[in-house]
Structure 1
Amino acid sequence: MALQWMILTYIVAAEAAIAFFLTVPAPKALKSTFVSLISLVLQPAMFIVPFSAFQLLDIYWKSEHRLMCSGETCTASERDRYEKTIYKAQRNVILCCSACLLYWCIYRVVKYHKEIRSMEEVEKRYKEE
């Protein structure tokens, strides 16, 4: 199970780096090349959304069927372990949501760049006529 979270962490880090490079000002030729490269990778990278949704369902299932540790019957170590699992679950929910949100942001930025490029081409045609 830890491998899945490690993969998701690396994907979120890569998405954050891509989002950063998409939004940093750069020369037009470099930016258009980078945007076209990312647009080719965007569709196969869509697997992150159902993967994150599956992980969220797994977190929900485990939280619903987790043994509650409350009252005097729990020892200090059991209580610490219970709290640690709660914190890990919260961290993983944030990780899943950020993966989906970053994917959506990258998708929208690439789409805006393509729309701007097409509008510039239309404007260029009108100026030539």
Structure 2
Amino acid sequence: MALQWVILAYVVAAETALAVLLTLPSPKAVRSRIVSLVSLILQPALFVVPFSGFQLLDIYWKNEHRLICSGDTCTASERDRYEKSIYKAQRNAILCAASCLVYWFIYRICKYNREIERMEELEKRFKEE
């Protein structure tokens, strides 16, 4: 079970690195190359959205079927284990949301850069006329 969270954490880290790379100031030629490369990666990287959704459903199902440890029936170690599992579930839910959100950021950054390039070409054509 821990492997899927490690994979998702690495995917979020890679997406974050790409978002930082896209937002750094760079020359037009380099930026257009980076944007075109990242645009090619975006479609195969879309797997992160359903994967994160499935993981969120898994977290929800486990939360609904978790034994509640409260009152005098629980020992201190059981209560600690219960709280630790709650914190892990919250961390994993944040990780899933972050993966989808950062993917969307990268998509929008690439789309805006392509629109800017298209508008610059259009402006260049109008200036030539």
CA distance in 1, matches of 2:60, 2:78: 21
> For 1:56-75, what aligned pairs fall within 5 Å after superposition?
56-75=56-75
- Identity %, equivalent residues: 72
RMSD: 0.4
CA deviations 1:77-128 (Å, max 9, x no partner) are 0000000000000000000000000000000000000000000000111111
The equivalent of 1:42 in structure 2 is: 42
CA distance in 1, matches of 2:115, 2:8: 30
Shift of 1:71: 0.5
Q: Aligned to 2:66, what secondary structure does the other structure show? A: coil
The equivalent of 1:2 in structure 2 is: 2
CA distance in 2, matches of 1:37, 1:96: 25
CA deviations 1:40-84 (Å, max 9, x no partner) are 000110010000000000000000000000001100100000000
Residue 109 (str. 1) matches residue 109 (str. 2): yes
Residue 27 (str. 1) matches residue 24 (str. 2): no
The number of equivalent residue pairs is: 129
Over 6 Å off, 4+ runs: none
Gaps of 5+ in 1: none
TM-score, length-normalised on structure 1?
A: 0.99
